[in-house]
Amino acid sequence: MTRFMVFEPPGTAGAPRTEGASEDAVFVRDRFSAPAFLFAPLWLLRYGLVVQGVLVLLLGGWLLYLARSGLGLVAVPLIVLLGLLVALEGPEWRARRLLRRRYRDAGAVEAQDAAEAAILYFAGHAVARTASGRSEAALPWAFEPVAPEPKRRRWWPFARKAHA
């Protein structure tokens, strides 16, 4: 099972979305990415991470230059480490880019692939809406306490009463 981070697009006219699941939700797989390891600059550019893509391209070119100039024993492991960095941190960079674009972090889903993650995410919102009419009702911290809070007793007999 893979963890997918779910991001909801910003609301219309700049207002953030508060309820319901959008069909335009973005699912970001939070695990090692083999295409990002093999084709790091292209993978970064594909997901709109232009600054990181250009930096990785320039750093990779410089490391290849070092490898051709006789420092291959140093440069080749650094190229592999650069690919590992992108493969492991690339999904996090995608998530941060979406947050900068005012997407709302809607949670996470455990699934085999993105299609199953979408099914589980949208099915969860449908159940939450039909249960009580509000999508927040499915969250454990959204429930009202069963018993009222007990009144606090003054532990000091000469304490002043608070004026309300």
Distance of alpha carbon 111 from alpha carbon 98, whole angstroms: 21
For position 150, what pLDDT does the model report?
A: 58
Average confidence (pLDDT) over 100-129: 83
Question: Is residue 133 pLDDT above 50, yes or no?
Answer: no
The residues spanned by each domain of the chain are 2-142
DSSP state of 143: S
- Per residue in 63-109, pLDDT (tens digit) is 999 999 988 899 999 999 999 999 999 999 999 999 999 999 988 99
pLDDT category of residue 125 using cuts at 50, 70 and 90: low
